Structure 1
């Protein structure tokens, strides 16, 4: 393992030395690959393009992020590796484009653009020393395989209890693993302790780096998905055929609501932060799947001129 880490450090140093002039680009790319951006932008954009694909993106993202946390504890104690959160969306999107396009170049472009994006995100994570190359490679392979396996089996029409039990299983399973390892003498927060000790400005250490920050996000999203799919608002718009203009309006409105919600308060107490994060991401799918489409649909229906029969 030490030899693998040593090679990774050499590669990271080479990137920093040879491509230092691209630092701002790498920082922007790694921002685009952050899991929070998936919830903020990729998930709503995919959902308004295709409901099934959007729900698949959400499922794949919360499961891969949960696996990311668990495998980090067992296999990669330094930092989690980046997973292909969007694999569920892009595994279908190129096929949809290909069936409608006549040009071979147009058929190849979505897959080429996606692979280029993945490569850029992987290199950016290595450049900023967030991950080792072997972690990036493992994440890409595992995420692609998981996306390929899950996309045809996305749970959509399930009882509300299924989503509640999923959220509960994520929380209890992770807590059991954490406290078992803690009892065995493994400090899973050692990197945070070192960061507070050596960081010049400890306030730069975000609460999102805490062990259960991603867990509260994923379990909240799982429960929120069930609540959204069984809400009266979703029942009214699920069979409605929204036009392109309405879908764009939904995306703009969702982004306008999710952005401030993401920045809304960060309690300094860690327990309150977990609770607030859970509630915030429970509301997240409700806004995207139900409340925003319902509002846009109702407003459009009111604005539509009446049809007079002659």
Structure 2
């Protein structure tokens, strides 16, 4: 394992020395690959393009982030995978374009652009020393396999209790593993303690780096998905079948609401932060699936001119 880590450091140093002039590009690319951007942009964009794909993107995010949390405790210390959670579903979009296009280059370009994006995000994570190369590769393979397995099994039409139990299982399962390892003498927050000790500016240490930050996000989103799918607003909008213009309006409005929600401050106490994060991401799917489409639908209905019969 030490040799693998050493080789990863050599590769990261080579990238930093040889491609230092691309630093701003790498930072921007790694921002686009951040899990929070998936919730902020990829999830609503996918959902308004295709209901099933959007819900699938959210599900694959919940599962892979949970696995990320667990596997980094067992296998990789404090270095998480970069999970390619979109791979099993966003690859459907290039496939659909390919089947409808006659030109070979038109058929190839979407898949080529998609693979280029995955490669760029992986290299950017190595460049900024967020992950080792073997972690990027492991995340790519695991994400592809998980996407392939889940494609025909996306939970959509389930009882509300199913989503509540999923959120509870995510929390209890990881908590049990965490406290078991802690009892065995493994300090899973060792890097945070060192960061507070040696970092020149402790305010640079974000709450999101805490062990259960992603867990509170994922469990909240799982519960919020169930609440949204069983809400009266969702039922009304689903029967209405929004048009393309309405879907674009939904995306714009959702981004306008989710952006400020994401930048909201948080309590300084860690326990209150977890509760706040859970509630915030419980609201997230409710906005995207139910409240925003319902508001756009109601506004469009009011603006539509009356139809006069002859």
TM-score normalised per structure 2: 0.99
**Take 2:198 and 2:239, find their aligned partners in 1: how far apart are those partners?**
55
**Take 2:49 and 2:88, find their aligned partners in 1: how far apart are those partners?**
13
| Secondary structure of 2:220 counterpart | helix
Give deviations 1:53-83, integer Å, cap 9, x for gaps.
0000000011100000000000110310100
**Take 2:300 and 2:185, find their aligned partners in 1: how far apart are those partners?**
59
Q: Is the 8 A contact 2:216 2:275 kept in 1?
A: yes
**Take 1:189 and 1:150, find their aligned partners in 2: how far apart are those partners?**
32
Deviation, 1:241, is: 2.2
Deviation larger for 273-282 or 80-89: 80-89
| Secondary structure of 1:76 counterpart | coil
Give deviations 1:10-54, integer Å, cap 9, x for gaps.
000000000000001000000000000000000000000000000
Give deviations 1:249-278, integer Å, cap 9, x for gaps.
000000000000001121110000000000
Quote the residue 1:301 is aligned against. 301
**Take 1:301 and 1:102, find their aligned partners in 2: how far apart are those partners?**
39
Quote the residue 1:120 is aligned against. 120
Quote the residue 2:15 is aligned against. 15
Structure 2 segments unaligned to the other structure (5+ residues): none
**Take 2:259 and 2:211, find their aligned partners in 1: how far apart are those partners?**
24
Superposition misfits of 4+ residues, deviation over 4 angstroms: none
**Take 1:78 and 1:162, find their aligned partners in 2: how far apart are those partners?**
31
Q: Is the 8 A contact 1:38 1:85 kept in 2?
A: no
Deviation, 1:103, is: 1.7
Q: Is the 8 A contact 1:225 1:286 kept in 2?
A: yes
Distance 1:287 1:88, change over 3 A: farther
Quote the residue 2:28 is aligned against. 28
Deviation, 1:99, is: 2.4
Q: Is the 8 A contact 1:236 1:294 kept in 2?
A: yes
Deviation, 1:233, is: 0.1
Quote the residue 2:260 is aligned against. 260
Q: Is the 8 A contact 1:53 1:89 kept in 2?
A: yes
**Take 1:72 and 1:236, find their aligned partners in 2: how far apart are those partners?**
42
Q: Is the 8 A contact 2:78 2:188 kept in 1?
A: no
Deviation, 1:175, is: 0.4
Q: Is the 8 A contact 2:88 2:143 kept in 1?
A: no
Q: Is the 8 A contact 2:246 2:296 kept in 1?
A: yes
- Number of aligned pairs? 310
**Take 1:4 and 1:78, find their aligned partners in 2: how far apart are those partners?**
16
Q: Is the 8 A contact 2:220 2:279 kept in 1?
A: yes
Deviation, 1:152, is: 1.4
Q: Is the 8 A contact 2:163 2:226 kept in 1?
A: yes
Deviation, 1:217, is: 0.2
Give deviations 1:97-149, integer Å, cap 9, x for gaps.
12222222122122111110110000000000000000000001101111111
Quote the residue 2:193 is aligned against. 193
**Take 2:273 and 2:110, find their aligned partners in 1: how far apart are those partners?**
38
Deviation, 1:89, is: 2.8
**Take 2:259 and 2:267, find their aligned partners in 1: how far apart are those partners?**
18
